């Protein structure tokens, strides 16, 4: 497919799971928050909830595409 002058390629980003970089960044943020607010953040409910919210819920609320079910 060739583009004419002034035309820009429009790439649709496939909806896939967040990349490894997102997981690492979320882990670093969680560890820093855990160090600062030990009693609140380092807990077996907040940990998984933080991961889900930061990698799936927040991107959807901000209008970015999140992962979709295959099929």
More confident residue, 44 or 30: 30
For residue 56, give the nearest of 64, 41, 66 by alpha carbon: 66
More confident residue, 28 or 43: 28
Does residue 51 carry a pLDDT above 80? Answer: yes
- What DSSP letter does each residue of 4-59 carry, written as one string? -TT-----PPP--PPPHHHHHHHHHHHHHHHHHSHHHHSSTTHHHHHHHIIIIIHH
Confidence at residue 71, expressed as pLDDT on a 0 to 100 scale: 46
- Residue 9: pLDDT band by 50, 70, 90 thresholds? low
More confident residue, 64 or 52: 52
């Amino acid at each position: 497919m060739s583009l004419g002058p002034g035309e820009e390629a429009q790439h649709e980003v496939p909806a896939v799971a967040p990349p490894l970089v997102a997981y690492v960044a979320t882990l670093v943020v969680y560890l820093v928050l855990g160090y600062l607010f030990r009693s609140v953040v380092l807990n077996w409910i907040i940990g998984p909830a933080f991961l889900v919210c930061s990698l799936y819920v927040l991107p959807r609320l901000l209008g970015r595409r999140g992962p979709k079910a295959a099929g």
